[in-house]
Homo-oligomer: A and B are copies of this chain.
Amino acid sequence: MKKHNYSAGPCILPQEVFEKSAQAVLNFNNSGLSILEISHRSKDFVAVMEEARALVLELLDLEGKGYQALFLQGGASMEFLRVPYNLLKENGKASYLDTGTWAAGAIKEAKAFGETIVVASSKGENYNHIPKQYEIPADADYFHCTSNNTIFGTQMKDFPNTNIPIVCDMSSDIFSRQLDFSKFDLIYAGAQKNMGPAGVTLVAVKEEILGKTGRAIPNILNYQQHIDKESMYNTPAVFAVYTSLLTLQWLKNLGGIPGIEKINEAKAKLLYTEIDRNPLFIGTAVAEDRSTMNATFLLKDETQAAAFDKLWKDAGISGISGHRSVGGYRASMYNALPLESVQVLVDVMQEFEKTIS
Question: What is the interface of chain A, defined by CB distance below 8 A to chain B?
Answer: 1, 3, 5, 7-13, 17-19, 21-23, 25-26, 32-34, 36-40, 42, 73-78, 80-81, 105, 108-109, 112, 190, 192, 196-200, 216, 218-221, 233-240, 243, 318-319
Contact = CB atoms under 8 A, between A and B. Distances in A.
B7 A37 contact: yes
Contacts of A74: 73-74, 78, 220, 234
A318 to B, nearest CB: 7
A198 B40 contact: yes
A26 B36 contact: no
A142 to B, nearest CB: 18
A13 to B, nearest CB: 6
Given A9-B235, A109-B218, 12 more contacts: A1-B32, A3-B33, A8-B39, A10-B36, A11-B37, A17-B36, A22-B23, A73-B237, A77-B220, A192-B235, A198-B238, A199-B238
Contacts of A36: 10, 13, 17-18, 21, 196-197, 243
B38 A10 contact: yes
Contacts of A237: 73, 198-199, 237, 240
Given A198-B239, A220-B81, A75 B8 contact: no
B319 A39 contact: yes
A10 B26 contact: no
A22 B18 contact: no
Contacts of A108: 219
A233 B19 CA distance: 30
Contact of A26 (B19, B81, B199, B243): B19
Given A192-B235, A199-B199, A39 B10 contact: yes
Given A22-B23, A76-B234, A235-B192, A7 B39 contact: yes
B240 A77 contact: no
Contacts of A192: 235
A109 B225 CA distance: 13
Interface centre among A5, A8, A25, A39 (most CB of B within 10 A): A25
B218 A112 contact: yes
Given A109-B218, A239-B199, A239-B240, A75 B76 contact: no
B39 A12 contact: no
A38 B220 contact: no
A8 B40 CA distance: 10
Nearest to A219: B109
Nearest to A336: B37
A338 B5 CA distance: 40
Contact of A221 (B81, B105, B198, B235): B81
Contacts of A235: 9-10, 75, 190, 192, 198
A219 B79 CA distance: 12
A169 to B, nearest CB: 13
A220 B11 CA distance: 23
A77 B234 contact: yes
Nearest to A72: B74
A74 B226 CA distance: 12
A102 to B, nearest CB: 10
